[in-house]
Chains A and B, each alone.
Chain A
Amino acid sequence: MAISIDEAVPAPVTDDAPAARRRGGRARRVIEVVLLVALAVAMLFPVLWMVETSIKENRDVYAVPAKFFNFDFTLQHFKDVFVAQGGGRSDLSGSFLNSVIVAGASTILATVLGVPAAWAYSRFTLKAKKDQLFFILSTRFMPPVVVVIPIFLMYRELGLIDSKLGLILIYAAFNVPFTIWMMKGFVDEVPAEYEDAAMLDGYTRLQAFRKFTLPLLVPGIAATAVFALIFSWNEFVFAIFLTSSQEVRTAPPAIAGLIGGTTVDWGLVAASAVVFALPVLVFAFLVRKHLVAGVTLGAVRR
């Protein structure tokens, strides 16, 4: 009865069987398309405007009334994202690199810890399983601003303030609950009988998991990882309070730092926003089919 994993958006719910049963059918369809297009435009306009700003000459950026088409094109802003004014690598590009390391490592860590746990929760009878699962989920209820205070105190004892490792750990901790919940849904989808059959053939349970279940979970893992990646890639609160040096700073605080000086280069802000958003968008696009299934499985199966 569950949603098919392979088909994010399965067959249409309206059937055309009694076609033109209603005279209003066609008009209604047109209205629906118009509405959908209008909503799509409204939702995507800010993104388009961001892309456009990133390729505009600065004097056109501030133009009133706004220039939608007849602006001067430039790629200078994108160059500024990567190359410092006097040549050499820009600070921003260093922050991008830090983001790749921190988000990548924390996503991997959350997946490596979360997937086996999800499998175990799905397959085994455990004492107070529901309590454990609720407890795991509830750790995500905490406002980051609140957690940042004790984390800060703890990190200062451990010397993890202003370190990539510190960020990786806290991001992983925030992603593990989500990974477990989402992956448990995916594991539930894979019949346990596969493993039983494998064990009849003489495999141990661990081998059965690795050889038969895990390969089937790969799409689910990818979808889960996207959500974990989105969180750690975009995270700002911990980043700004737990890090301070250029060597550690991730991209969100670095981009925030582009304003509040003496002048704001909106073209640069837009260009860095576009560059920063691309990896996540590409990753999400690659696993788009599994996203719908992924986000709901955790919510549906409690």
Chain B
Amino acid sequence: MTTTTDRPVQEASSTTPAPGGSPRLSDRGLAVAFISPALLLLLGMSVFPLLWALYLSFTDYSATRATGANFVGFDNYSLILGSSEVHKRALTTLIYVVGAVLLQTVLGFSIAYLISRRTRGRGALTTLFLVPMMLSPVVVGLFWKFMLDAQFGVINSMLGSLGFGQVEWLTRQRTALFSLIVVDTWQWTPFIMLIALAGLTAVPNYLYEAASIDRASEWFRFRHITLPMVWPLLLIAVMFRAIEAFRLFDLVYILTSGGPGVSTETLSFHVYKVAFLGFNTGTASAYGILMVLVVIVLAQFYLRYLNKLKEG
């Protein structure tokens, strides 16, 4: 696909000399003019701050104290990597990411599969299922907090009518983390569904037709035609979701504010505390840089694995 894009450029240069100089140059000028504003914005708003954070991460700088920034080498990094508090948050984050992404992948794919097998009303169904994804995490967090309230919440009320006792959704260690996973899954299952749906609908019909002629079983069709076609897309969706889940902040802030104790504090939430409670800007920057590194390195391995999968 990418290879074809080169052709028009060459063709253009050989056939239509546009006024005002070499077309090749004007193409180049056009490319620069079209791309550089976007890149400049990214350089200014993403790269520069990140480099600044990188610099601060080697200092003891504090945004509120007038002491300036003293170079402290890798002190911040060793402090973070050696801290058992950070290890605890890393484990919480890991459980959360794995649990949430797994759950929403299974659910999202199931919904997409079921929708793709309908003949009518698929557009409407898809749109309906997308609603949670469009809501603000603040709204989602607040409202689930209300629904999960042990005393007045509608969830416990329904469980009560079914004869179950009250469940402390947000105030027990296990259930609180589970609740976070459920809420995140509720909001982001549609995203996986959307991508899986695109993969499913891209499966060419002739493959199925061939399979029906061979009287292949449904399971065979699913296992050997559907899944292989959707799998790569699904894996990319999983990566996007995992990255998003890894940096989760707002839902924790609203739903549990890290509690009970610190048992639902994610890494992002912990960074926030380091940055804004103690205003240890240098340490928080190092913490953040480490998080970015983790994402990039893991994404790297993941992409390599995907690559191998494709080749193998």
Contacts and interface: CB of A to CB of B under 8 A. Distances in A.
Q: Do chains A and B touch in the complex (CB under 8 A)?
A: yes
Interface of A: 1-3, 8-15, 17-18, 22, 32, 35-36, 39-40, 43-44, 46-47, 49-50, 53, 62, 64-66, 113-114, 116-117, 119-126, 132, 136, 138-139, 141-154, 169-170, 172-173, 176-177, 180, 188, 192-193, 195-196, 199-200, 202, 204-206, 230, 233-234, 236-237, 241, 251-253, 255-256, 258-259, 266, 269-270, 273, 276-277, 280-281, 284-285, 288-289, 291-293, 295-296, 299-301
Contacts of B31: 120, 123-124, 126
Contacts of B96: none
A12 B119 contact: yes
Given A12-B117, A122-B5, A205-B30, A145 B272 contact: yes
Contacts of B132: 43, 46-47
Contact of B23 (A18, A153, A205, A292): A205
B123 A300 contact: no
B201 interface: yes
Nearest to B287: A146
Contacts of A284: 127, 130, 134
B101 to A, nearest CB: 16
B139 A139 contact: no
Given A138-B296, A199-B12, A236 B160 contact: no
Given A149-B275, A256-B138, 4 more contacts: A46-B132, A146-B284, A146-B292, A169-B41
A127 B191 CA distance: 33
B160 A65 contact: yes
A205 B161 CA distance: 68
14 contacts: A9-B197, A12-B118, A44-B131, A50-B143, A65-B160, A66-B154, A116-B38, A143-B271, A146-B53, A149-B275, A153-B56, A172-B41, A173-B41, A173-B46
Contacts of B12: 196, 199, 205
B8 A192 contact: yes
Nearest to B26: A205
- Judged by DSSP, the binding face of A is helix
Interface of B: 1, 4-9, 11-12, 15-16, 18-19, 23, 26-28, 30-31, 33-35, 37-39, 41-42, 44-50, 52-53, 56, 63, 107, 110-111, 114-119, 122-123, 125-139, 142-144, 146-147, 151-152, 154, 157-158, 160-161, 186, 189-191, 194-195, 197-203, 205, 208-209, 212, 218, 226, 233, 236-237, 240, 243, 246-247, 249-250, 253-254, 268-269, 271-272, 275-276, 281, 284-285, 287-289, 291-292, 295-296, 299
B52 A252 contact: no
Nearest to B37: A113
B114 A146 contact: no
A252 B136 contact: yes
